């Protein structure tokens, strides 16, 4: 059952990174667009994200619930030592969610749209940066585990773990990844004539992802980060990253051909590979502290809890996944039907 | 402000908001599907306009409920890490199922909101029902987790360790049913009267009277039925608490000394120092009867328990009085509504509508007061008789700043949501159906 739970943990992490990431990325793309393109993006984002918007963000709740039930030690470290960035993420999620709803459901369209747009775009950038910083914090090796945390200074206990250059690099890397995912997604969804906006955006995003990745690794290597050093030594991790880079070729080919299903598949696969590389290079020790690492597998809840959780996840999964799939499929089909009925679209 | 107080205030503050969003998001879909059903049956354009207007309300409240819920799922750990470290695995079952129910709700909402004219009519309507049902299921599951804090079960507590964990028994703890029943009825009462009150105001102001009367009828029917059923559930809860949490019951009634044939106090000002309750109305033997079904039964007083296990007695007592008082008014209003169905001319009376306008916020005030009774009444425990709240709080200092930030954000949000709803109503009033 532990493996079922682990599967769902990684599965929801992956889906949150891809779906939630694309969602954050939409705001980032909008933020870095010219005024005219912002309008186009806003419309496209609503059309694409609207029906699945709520579902995208529930993955993080599933993720966090699995963590606290099955891996209480991990959850405890995250909420205690990384209290501050998580609070910022939460504020970002709140403002962003509210801004998204306000700008699309407000009965009156007027100047207040500017405020909603601003809130949406800025929180779309800040939230994934801090999310990435939380992950960076876990692996940065700055967390200090002691019997009584009150013996540490405020800086050492609550700031140092995440407020460092390495974490900031991972944060920026994740935000760039979100923008990359979103621009690939938007290429397929934009109305004809606008594709080039997103082709250009995805080129820029790819370059930024690559640069930030390189920077994170170089900095990590120079500063002696255990995670980065082990990553580089791990042949599977390197293979996964290389494969992800090679996939850029089919990605560009499919984008040029306008094959949106395959281009999304490749983009998703790339992110999956990067995520896998990050996880396997140090599995099961995902948290690296000043004095050593903490194993995910060795600090789990009792068997009875894992078993019941595993069964609930299987039952939940069999209800939710077909429904979600159907939701995605129906609206895709509807869109194609619309295009057939109304050639002007 | 001490860290513990700041953490408690922040938790209370965010929960007070979340409960409002969650209740509306959970109950309004039912109003929406009834109106939708009437549209499908009668093809009366008014019902379509109403359904679409309510669906926007559902969407706005669902999202605000979802984001405040996401914040809460983290806050439990951010503020009470010691609690979550031990309790997280034990009460994980209702939370993981709640996650699933919530997901189903989000998927159904996706279908419903974007399915107009695209999905088969019947299927589209059913997705609306699923939104409502999964919302209620979510609510019940979360309340079951809270029930566990009042009636911890499903583990053995040996030398400060939680052993032999049984998550199913923990979920089906002795308090889950009484609390879930009371809360579900409360959600329907509060939302029913709130929505009905808003539409009553529009009728009162003579705006789109036909539409708002129809809306009023749908909402108040749910609210009135729930308000009429609530006393039964309240009685079950009281008897349950008398057995399981006698300290809480004693605090609710500001009952300091153990006595037989204990009187029920209505109202009154509590002085915890002198242990006196002034200006109350005392009904002899009634507390014994309500708690144990026997006018002569002995009811334990607060003085029978160590002082460091007492909650804040005046606060619990006042909150309980407010809840019961408003509950009684709403019960009366519910009956009045059903009588008015027979006396149609009341509908032409200004005062009838004004009466329901005044009642609009009452259900929510009672609901919040009820949660204050449950939560403050459980103090000083976070897990009844197992873990104290002060031992669960985060070691991170300066929670007070996080508290002020939350206050600022949530207050801004509620102003914004209210403003948005007002615009919604204005547009509805200007629509041509």
CA torsion, ordered A210, A215, A216, A221, to nearest 10 deg: 130
The tokens of A272 are what?
């999956």
- The answer on pLDDT for A340 being more than 70 is no
CB B95 within 8 A of CB B74: no
* B422–A contact, CB cutoff 8 A: no
The residue that leads in pLDDT, A36 or B242, is B242
Q: Which residues contact B374 (CB under 8 A, 6 or more apart)?
A: B146, B150, B179
A63: closest CA among B347, B73, B204? Answer: B73
> Minimal Cα–Cα distance from B361 to chain A, Å?
23
What is d(CA B134, CA A58) in angstroms, rounded to the nearest whole number?
Answer: 14
* Three-class SS state of B264: strand
CB B277 within 8 A of CB B294: no
Q: B113 contacts in A (CB within 8 Å)? A: 50-51
3 state DSSP class of A186: helix
Q: What percent of chain B has pLDDT over 70?
A: 100
Q: Which phi and psi (to 5°) does residue B422 adopt? A: -60, -40
Chain B hits for A52, CB-CB cut-off 8 Å, are 110
The residues with which B387 forms a beta bridge, in sequence order, are B383
pLDDT digits (tens, 9 = 90+) for B276-334: 888 888 888 888 988 888 888 888 989 999 989 999 999 999 999 999 999 999 999 99
In three-state secondary structure terms, B421 is helix
Contact criterion met (CB < 8 Å) for B63 and A101 = yes
Give me the residue label for tokens 């995003």: A205
pLDDT in tens, B25-59: 899 999 999 999 999 999 988 999 899 889 888 88
DSSP string, A287-330: EEBSS-EE-TTTS---HHHHHHHHHHHHHHHHHHHHHHHHHHHH
Residue B171 in contact with residue B94, Cβ under 8 Å?
A: yes
Average pLDDT of the segment spanning A273-302: 82
Residue (of A216, A196, A218, A220) closest to A208 by Cα position: A216
Choose between B63 and A212: higher pLDDT: A212
The C-alpha atoms of residue B189 and residue B326 are separated, in whole angstroms, by 11
**Which residues of chain B does A65 touch, with a Cβ-Cβ cutoff of 8 Å?**
73, 92, 95-96, 99
Nearest-neighbour CA in chain B from A136: distance (Å): 19
Whole-angstrom distance, CA of residue B259 vs CA of residue B272: 18
> Cβ contacts of residue B217 below 8 Å, gap of 6+?
none
Q: CA–CA separation, B86 vs B384, rounded Å?
A: 14
Candidates A272, A343, A271, A19; CA nearest to B103 is: A19
Instruction: List the 30-59 stretch of B: residues with Cβ below 8 A of A.
Output: 56, 59
Angle in degrees, CA B125, B52, A328, rounded to 5: 55
Q: In this complex, is the C-beta atom of B157 within 8 Å of any C-beta atom belonging to chain A?
A: no
Could you read off the pLDDT of B212-262 as tens digits, one per residue?
A: 999 999 999 999 999 999 999 999 999 999 999 999 999 998 888 898 888
What residue of A is the nearest CA neighbor of B78? Answer: A79
Q: What angle do CA B138, B170, A62 make, to 5 degrees?
A: 40
- Interface check B9 vs A, CB under 8 A: no
Torsion angle of the four alpha carbons B151, B82, B73, B419, in this order, in degrees rounded to the nearest 10: 90
Rounded CA gap, B378 and B287, in Å?
A: 20
**ipTM given for this complex:** 0.82
Best interface-test mutation with A: which of B100, B126, B172, B417 has the largest number of A CBs within 10 A? Answer: B100
The structure tokens listed for A169 are 């690099």
């Amino acid at each position: 059952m532990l493996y079922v739970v682990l599967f769902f943990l990684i599965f929801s992490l992956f889906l949150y990174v891809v779906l939630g990431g694309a969602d954050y990325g939409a705001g980032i793309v909008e933020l870095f667009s010219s005024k005219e393109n912002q309008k186009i993006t806003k419309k496209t984002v609503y059309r694409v994200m609207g029906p699945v918007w709520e579902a995208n963000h529930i993955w993080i709740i599933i993720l966090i619930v699995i963590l606290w039930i099955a891996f209480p030690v991990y959850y405890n470290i995250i909420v205690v030592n990384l209290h501050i960035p998580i609070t910022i993420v939460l504020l970002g999620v709140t403002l962003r969610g509210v801004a998204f709803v306000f700008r699309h459901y407000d009965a009156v369209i007027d100047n207040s749209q500017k405020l909603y747009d601003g809130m949406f775009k800025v929180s779309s950038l800040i939230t994934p940066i801090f999310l990435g910083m939380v992950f960076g914090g876990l692996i940065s090796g700055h967390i200090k585990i002691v019997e009584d945390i009150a013996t540490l200074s405020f800086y050492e206990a609550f700031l140092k773990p995440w407020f460092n250059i390495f974490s900031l690099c991972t944060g920026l890397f994740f935000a760039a990844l979100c923008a990359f995912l979103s621009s690939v997604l938007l290429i397929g969804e934009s109305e004809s004539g606008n594709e080039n906006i997103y082709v250009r955006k995805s080129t820029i995003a790819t370059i930024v992802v690559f640069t930030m990745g390189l920077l994170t690794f170089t900095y990590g290597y120079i500063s002696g980060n255990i995670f980065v050093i082990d990553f580089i030594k791990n042949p599977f991790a390197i293979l996964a990253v290389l494969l992800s880079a090679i996939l850029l070729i089919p990605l560009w080919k499919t984008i040029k051909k306008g094959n949106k299903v395959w281009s999304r598949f490749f983009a998703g696969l790339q992110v999956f590979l990067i995520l896998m590389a990050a996880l396997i290079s140090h599995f099961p020790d995902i948290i690296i502290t000043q004095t050593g690492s903490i194993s995910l597998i060795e600090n789990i809840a009792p068997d009875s809890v894992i078993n019941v959780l595993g069964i609930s996840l299987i039952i939940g999964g069999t209800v939710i996944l077909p429904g979600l799939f159907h939701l995605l499929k129906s609206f895709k089909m509807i869109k194609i039907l619309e295009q057939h009925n109304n050639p002007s679209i | 402000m001490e860290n513990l107080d700041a953490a408690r205030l922040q938790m209370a503050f965010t929960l007070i908001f979340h409960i409002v969003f969650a209740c509306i998001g959970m109950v309004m879909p039912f109003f929406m599907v009834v109106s939708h059903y009437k549209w499908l049956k009668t093809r009366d354009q008014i019902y379509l306009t109403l359904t679409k207007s309510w669906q926007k309300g559902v969407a706005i409240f669902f999202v605000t409920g979802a984001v405040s819920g996401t914040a809460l799922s983290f806050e439990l750990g951010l503020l009470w890490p010691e609690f979550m470290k031990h309790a997280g695995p034990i009460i994980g079952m209702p939370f993981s199922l709640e996650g699933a129910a919530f997901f189903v709700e989000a998927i159904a909402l996706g279908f419903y909101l974007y399915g107009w004219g695209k999905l088969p009519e019947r299927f589209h309507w059913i997705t609306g029902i699923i939104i409502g049902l999964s919302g209620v299921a979510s609510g019940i599951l979360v309340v079951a987790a809270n029930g566990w804090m009042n009636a911890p079960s499903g583990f053995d507590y040996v030398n400060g360790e939680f052993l032999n964990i049984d998550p199913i028994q923990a979920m089906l703890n002795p308090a889950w049913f009484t609390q879930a029943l009371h809360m579900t009825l409360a959600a329907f009462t509060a939302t029913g009267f709130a929505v009905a009150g808003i539409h009553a105001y529009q009728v009162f102001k003579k705006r789109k009277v036909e539409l708002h009367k129809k809306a009023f009828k749908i909402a108040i029917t749910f609210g009135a039925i729930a308000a009429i059923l609530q006393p039964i559930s309240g009685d079950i809860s009281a008897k349950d608490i008398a057995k399981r949490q006698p300290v809480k019951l004693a605090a609710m009634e500001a009952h300091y000394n153990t006595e037989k044939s204990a009187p029920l106090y209505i109202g009154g000002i509590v002085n915890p120092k002198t242990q006196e309750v002034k200006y109350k109305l005392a009904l002899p033997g009634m507390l014994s009867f309500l708690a144990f079904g026997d006018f002569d039964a002995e009811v334990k007083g607060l003085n029978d328990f160590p002082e460091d296990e007492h909650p804040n007695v005046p606060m619990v007592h006042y909150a309980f009085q407010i809840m019961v008082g408003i509950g009684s008014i709403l019960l009366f209003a519910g009956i009045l509504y059903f009588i008015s169905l027979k006396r149609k001319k009341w509908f032409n009376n200004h005062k009838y509508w004004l009466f329901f306008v005044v009642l609009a916020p009452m259900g929510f005030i009672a609901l919040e007061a009820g949660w204050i009774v449950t939560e403050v009444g459980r103090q000083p425990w976070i897990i009844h008789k197992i873990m104290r709240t002060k031992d669960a709080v985060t070691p991170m200092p300066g929670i007070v700043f996080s508290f002020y930030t939350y206050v600022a954000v949530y207050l801004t949000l509620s102003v914004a949501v209210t403003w948005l709803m007002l615009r919604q109503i204005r547009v509805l009033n200007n629509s041509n159906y």
